[in-house]
Structure 1
Amino acid sequence: MSPPIHPDPPLPLGQGNLSALLAVAPALLPALLDAIPARVVVLDPQECLTYGNPAFYAFTGLQPEVILGCPIRHVIGEQAYANYAPVRERLTRGETVCWEDWIELNAVGPRYMREHLVPAFDAQGQRLGTIVISLDWTELRQNQQQLEARLDELHATQALKSSIVDQALAAIISTDAQGRIVEFNPAAEAMFGRQRTQVLGQPVEDVVIPPRHRAGHRAGMARVAKGGPARMLGQRLEMDALRADGTEFPVEMVLSRNAVGDTSFYTASMFDLTERRNAQAQIERQRDALRQSEKLTAMGSLLAGVAHELNNPLAIVMGRASLLEEKMAEHPLASDAHRIREAAERCGRIVRTFLNMARSRAPQRAPVQINDLATAAAEMLQYNLRSHGIELDLLLGDDLPTVLADGDQIGQVILNLLVNAQQALATNDPPRRLQIATGVEPRRDGREPWVWLRVVDNGRGIPEALHERIFEPFFTTKPEGLGTGLGLAVSRSIVRDHGGDLRVEPRGPGACFRMGLPVSGQAQPETSAAPAPIEAPEALARVLVVDDEPEIAALIRAFLESAGYEVASAESGALALELLSAGRFDAIVSDLRMPDMDGAALWRAVGERHPLLARRMLFVTGDTLSPGARGFLSQTGCPALEKPFAKADLLGCLKQLLG
């Protein structure tokens, strides 16, 4: 590579100047040239070396007697000489040339040289030769290259660190010793809602620290400035930070101190803990819900057992009251018997509702009456409402069509709405009112109408901003310990699974929840609470009653005999098989749970000995909750009548069984 050539003004050595200088001071010039640290050589017009100062010979390590008079190309080498071609052309034109570059010299190897080459002429313009002044800048150039490499490395390191800081997920804020911000990465911009250009140079306390913590921050900075301990350095701390909009949020921070020369800088790496706190809160709510669910499961099992034990005495009370009412039809005490029967039937409905709620089974859709479900829920909570001073109004629509739905699930939804209303009214000043209303909503475009139910209270109501949030899982407005935030979410899910909707309506000062469900059939006639007339069988039928409870067996026998059936009874399955072997029977009414031989074992035995009669078995039980009982009834297709039951229910099932 040819050395770079730099223009340089000619030295003040015009034609004849060198000869004049030698003539004036013949002893001064050699001393001057010998003292110059630069290498000085003089070449004749044929480029042969005619002079070299001591610095030149010391640099090359050559002796004057060896190289004086030799062509310079032999001294510096052919490769180096070839690089001087552009320089020689300019010297020929009388130009002074200045250049610097790496050059390979024979005697010393590769060196970085800076040279001035000056052509000399006599008075007639004849070229006398060339004066060359050289400086060896090899070490300087090497140091410069090392410095440039180090700077490049520092630039690359700085770029890498800047990239890491810019791409970091953590918010990184650096300040000087006075607390003024010197770095604010993109993650910090996103976290705090502020631009880097706006906060650089600002006190960090005014940007990210809530006002109530600023005094403590200033005290800590002052303590460190006086040489006190920096207590927060290197520790993971959770604290509150301040967004640009004035809201506070939790962060985790690690603070470090770095010294650059005599200056200290502080860097805080921060993570937003909002999502983590929300997740922890949700997990805690889920744990509370799980504990509550476990409690409810245990209570449900206990409730189911208690309800089952109540079935038998309730069945006896209901049945005997019904018989007493029939016998005393014209007696003044008939109204008392009627009240006893109605109270017992109400107890039976409450027990049945408890059992339905405790059942764990797949949803089963069937035509249900929303009015019946609303009445059952109201009866279940009647004592609670009355004890809290809550007046309940039932405004149930007439001739509502049935809805194809799972009665247990929709009943739970209604009960949940009533319980929520009761809890909302508990802290309300009297009067406390609760209303349940039902009706039909006509639908356009040929779609079938909806049956709706409203639960309205005169409590404090629900803010409009929360009308949708209250249906989110684990969100609750109730005080701690009164709810898990799952009731409304599950209720809406159940209703929507039925093709309907559950929402809050903005009505009145209190809260109003409206449930709407699509119907599945025509309107059903309203049933009367009085016992339906029972038709006597067309032909005398013999029925075998099997029950280990003598009172239940006697009640069923009394019901059947009053309707014209011929009845025999057995207290166990074994005795029932003996009676079947001794006589003819048209149907069997049996308890499902009995000691020794239960109803399932009796059915199998009857199937082996009397196959036709096995298809005419009606089971009376209060144990349809258990998986074993449900599985048996589902597998065999045998009808079942749940305790407690009314006389009309028993006779209706038996008539259908006999065909």
Structure 2
Amino acid sequence: MQAGHLHSPASSPETPEPDASDNGIPAVSPRIPGGEVREEALRKSEDRLRATIEAALDCIIGIDEQGRVVEFNPAAEATFGYRKREALGRTLADLIIPERLREAHAAGMHRYLETGERHYLGRRVEMTAMRSDGSEFPVELAIEVAEGPEGRIFIGYLRDITERRRSVEDRIRLESQLRQAQKMEAIGQLTGGIAHDFNNMLTSIMGYLTMARERTEHYGDARLAKYLDRAERSGQRARDLIAQMLTFSRGQRGEPRALQLGPHLAEAMRLLTSILPSSVEIRSEFARKIPCVQLDPLHVEQVLMNLCINARDAMEGKGTLTLALQPVHGGACVCASCHQPVKGAFVELAVGDTGPGIAPEVLDRIFEPFFSTKEVGKGSGMGLAVVHGIVHEYGGHILVDTAPGLGATVRVWFPAWFPDTPDADGPDSGPDSHDATAAPAGLHGRVLLAEDEASVREFMQDLLGSWGLAVVSAENGVEACERFAADPTGFDLVVLDQTMPRMTGLEAAAQLLKHRPDAPVILYTGHSEHLTQERIRGAGIRAQARKPLDVPAFRALVEELLPARQTR
């Protein structure tokens, strides 16, 4: 065959001419023109972009230069309450921007289009958006600009941050509660420590005043007796203030019992006339059926008196004071002093006044001890702090309603108590008072005294000695145990301070009673936190006394515990 008769592959009518640049590989498919390939790739790219936008968890909203919506993804539909077909073509300002913010939005758009100033572009900012029902909510927004065939497109990425804001607010509130609790605990510990030291000083001061007043009866010096009486009254006021400090710090436990608050408050109201001027009108609003509470009646009176004095001072002695008592149920409210949520059934004691109200800047501090808006010397700042201590001691809470110029109402909530039987104590007459006149000397016996505070130890030696008792003193519990162990039957009475270095009074009593179980022991203290009657009796201690000592009551206690042959 001749070579000219052969058809070369390059000349075949069914095969395209090879391109030298691709080593014989066809540049274009013979079945798909080049434009169709580009369109297919573009379509696939658009489909991927559309799927990404529709699957996004954040709202993606696009607007043109006229502010009209050109993109509105499913997340935006769910967040704002519009269907996509409802949103497209509408202006963004009318759709999701609150009316008060639309002018600023329009100004920002205009400024960017005129000057290119990118104030918000490329940044994450927080703003307020609006749903289809008109409700507003916080969003995080980021805006970018894209150039399109029809001009610039503004793409907004929005995220509803309502839950984030709520979480932040909850965290801030919990941190505030923690700080408040820590602050009140620290102040309480400091207050209790200060009160303990003052009690020691007052024990000797008031004790010596009592002993001095006894001696004036023999000399008949009326003027000296008057001076001593005045000094003793001042000491009693100091003692009462210390008692309030200890109550705030939860160092003094009450003796709760089942109470009907109505009769107790009715009785206490009679005492209000002594602390309230006639220019203050008293109104009472007591509900008919009120559950019982478990409280110490003396603490109830203390709460009432402190609240009424506070209201009197707020009104500057002129106005209307309202007392109300009713059952309530805790719900969506928070205690004003401990900042904890309040839940459960309570009995509310409310004291309202017609004074100027409580300023917002001091509302969070009114329960702090020694905080007062009064002039120096016109208030100790302990009234509401004591109320805080007592109320929370019994598991209660405090709410405050106030507004500038509209007075204030302090609402104390005590937990309601529903006993198996309906019986509850009526009005109490309070503890028996002791005769202020000390009994004459006439005691015999040997007393072991343990007291670490030198001034109190000296006073107790003088006091017991003035009654005819021989006193052996020790500076701490360890020394007292050593002296007792050396002669267990040589002591007729043991008097132990509770708070001492190296060994507490309770620990010392336990050691002493191992040597002689029937030894009469008196424990005395001014800081009785965690000391219950069960714990004291369980330790074998016969009796307890509180600092500063009530001398006649302490004398009666000593007489009771000494063997009968040693008193006359």
TM-score range, shorter chain: 0.5 to 0.7
Q: Rate the CA distance shift 1:601–1:255 in 2: closer, same or farther, 3 A.
A: closer
In the alignment, which residue of structure 1 is the partner of 2:524? 620
Q: Rate the CA distance shift 1:195–1:305 in 2: closer, same or farther, 3 A.
A: same
Is 1:456–1:512's contact at 8 Å kept on the other side of the alignment? Answer: yes
> Which residue, 337, 342, 358 being the options, matches 2:249?
358
Query: d(CA) in 1 for partners of 2:435 and 2:426?
Result: 20
Q: Rate the CA distance shift 1:207–1:149 in 2: closer, same or farther, 3 A.
A: closer
**Alignment of structure 1 residues 216-295 onto 2, 5 Å:** 216-226=104-114, 228-243=116-131, 249-295=137-183
Is 2:438–2:551's contact at 8 Å kept on the other side of the alignment? Answer: no
Kindly provide the amino acid, as one letter, of the partner of residue 646 in structure 1: D
Q: Which runs of 5+ in 1 are unaligned?
A: 1-57, 62-137, 379-384, 442-449, 462-476
Residue 457 (structure 1) aligned with residue 315 (structure 2): no
Is 2:324–2:351's contact at 8 Å kept on the other side of the alignment? Answer: no
Residue 518 (structure 1) aligned with residue 424 (structure 2): no
Is 2:447–2:493's contact at 8 Å kept on the other side of the alignment? Answer: yes
CA RMSD of aligned residues (A): 6.0
* Post-superposition CA distance 1:168-205 (Å, at most 9, x none): 2x232211222101233454355445555444322222
> Which residue, 487, 503, 514 being the options, matches 1:581?
487
Deviation at 1:310, TM superposition (A): 0.8
Residue 590 (structure 1) aligned with residue 496 (structure 2): yes
**Alignment of structure 1 residues 400-549 onto 2, 5 Å:** 403-405=293-295, 414=303, 418=307, 435=321, 437=323, 453-459=349-355, 479-480=360-361, 482-483=363-364, 510-511=408-409, 513=411, 515-516=413-414, 517-518=416-417, 521-523=424-426, 525-527=428-430, 530-532=433-435, 542=445, 544-546=447-449, 547=451
In the alignment, which residue of structure 2 is the partner of 1:446? none
Is 1:545–1:556's contact at 8 Å kept on the other side of the alignment? Answer: no
**Alignment of structure 1 residues 299-378 onto 2, 5 Å:** 299-322=187-210, 340-359=231-250, 366-367=256-257
Is 1:238–1:250's contact at 8 Å kept on the other side of the alignment? Answer: yes
* Post-superposition CA distance 1:346-381 (Å, at most 9, x none): 4323313322432489x997338879x99xxx9xxx
Deviation at 1:162, TM superposition (A): 5.3
Residue 610 (structure 1) aligned with residue 501 (structure 2): no
Is 2:446–2:493's contact at 8 Å kept on the other side of the alignment? Answer: yes
Query: d(CA) in 2 for partners of 1:277 and 1:173?
Result: 23
Query: d(CA) in 1 for partners of 2:86 and 2:105?
Result: 21
Is 2:140–2:161's contact at 8 Å kept on the other side of the alignment? Answer: yes
Kindly provide the amino acid, as one letter, of the partner of residue 404 in structure 1: Q
Deviation at 1:617, TM superposition (A): 1.1
Q: Rate the CA distance shift 1:518–1:318 in 2: closer, same or farther, 3 A.
A: farther
Deviation at 1:341, TM superposition (A): 4.5
Query: d(CA) in 2 for partners of 1:276 and 1:440?
Result: 39
* Post-superposition CA distance 1:34-53 (Å, at most 9, x none): xxxxxxxxxxxxxxxxxxxx
Kindly provide the amino acid, as one letter, of the partner of residue 429 in structure 2: E
DSSP-derived class of the 1:571 partner: strand
Query: d(CA) in 2 for partners of 1:356 and 1:314?
Result: 17
In the alignment, which residue of structure 1 is the partner of 2:51? 160
Aligned length: 474
Deviation at 1:646, TM superposition (A): 1.3
Deviation at 1:407, TM superposition (A): 9.1
More moved, 248-257 vs 632-641: 632-641
Is 1:402–1:523's contact at 8 Å kept on the other side of the alignment? Answer: no
* Post-superposition CA distance 1:430-464 (Å, at most 9, x none): 556685858799xxxxxxxx976332222467xxx
Is 2:434–2:553's contact at 8 Å kept on the other side of the alignment? Answer: no
**Alignment of structure 1 residues 196-207 onto 2, 5 Å:** 196-207=84-95
DSSP-derived class of the 2:413 partner: strand
> Which residue, 643, 651, 654 being the options, matches 2:547?
643
Is 2:80–2:132's contact at 8 Å kept on the other side of the alignment? Answer: yes
* Post-superposition CA distance 1:101-130 (Å, at most 9, x none): xxxxxxxxxxxxxxxxxxxxxxxxxxxxxx
In the alignment, which residue of structure 1 is the partner of 2:474? 572
Kindly provide the amino acid, as one letter, of the partner of residue 161 in structure 2: L
Deviation at 1:620, TM superposition (A): 1.6
DSSP-derived class of the 1:588 partner: strand
More moved, 296-305 vs 266-275: 296-305
User: What fraction of aligned residue pairs are identical, expressed as a percent?
Assistant: 25
* Post-superposition CA distance 1:33-87 (Å, at most 9, x none): xxxxxxxxxxxxxxxxxxxxxxxxx9899xxxxxxxxxxxxxxxxxxxxxxxxxx
* Post-superposition CA distance 1:371-407 (Å, at most 9, x none): 9x99xxx9xxxxxx99xxx97979999xx99953489
Query: d(CA) in 2 for partners of 1:139 and 1:478?
Result: 88
Residue 188 (structure 1) aligned with residue 188 (structure 2): no
Q: Rate the CA distance shift 1:601–1:160 in 2: closer, same or farther, 3 A.
A: closer
Q: Rate the CA distance shift 1:647–1:162 in 2: closer, same or farther, 3 A.
A: same
Query: d(CA) in 1 for partners of 2:36 and 2:46?
Result: 15
TM-score by length of 2: 0.61
**Alignment of structure 1 residues 115-194 onto 2, 5 Å:** 153=44, 157=48, 160-161=51-52, 163-165=54-56, 168=57, 170-189=58-77, 191-192=79-80
DSSP-derived class of the 1:612 partner: coil
Is 2:138–2:162's contact at 8 Å kept on the other side of the alignment? Answer: yes
Deviation at 1:644, TM superposition (A): 1.3
Q: Rate the CA distance shift 1:619–1:199 in 2: closer, same or farther, 3 A.
A: same
DSSP-derived class of the 1:624 partner: coil
Work out which structure has the larger RCO, using CA pairs closer than 8 Å and 6 or more positions apart in sequence.
2
Query: d(CA) in 1 for partners of 2:488 and 2:390?
Result: 53
Query: d(CA) in 2 for partners of 1:270 and 1:304?
Result: 55
Kindly provide the amino acid, as one letter, of the partner of residue 314 in structure 1: L
Q: Based on CA coordinates, which of the two structures has the bigger radius of gyration?
A: 1
Q: Which runs of 5+ in 2 are unaligned?
A: 1-11, 16-28, 270-274, 328-345, 369-383, 564-568
Is 1:368–1:407's contact at 8 Å kept on the other side of the alignment? Answer: no
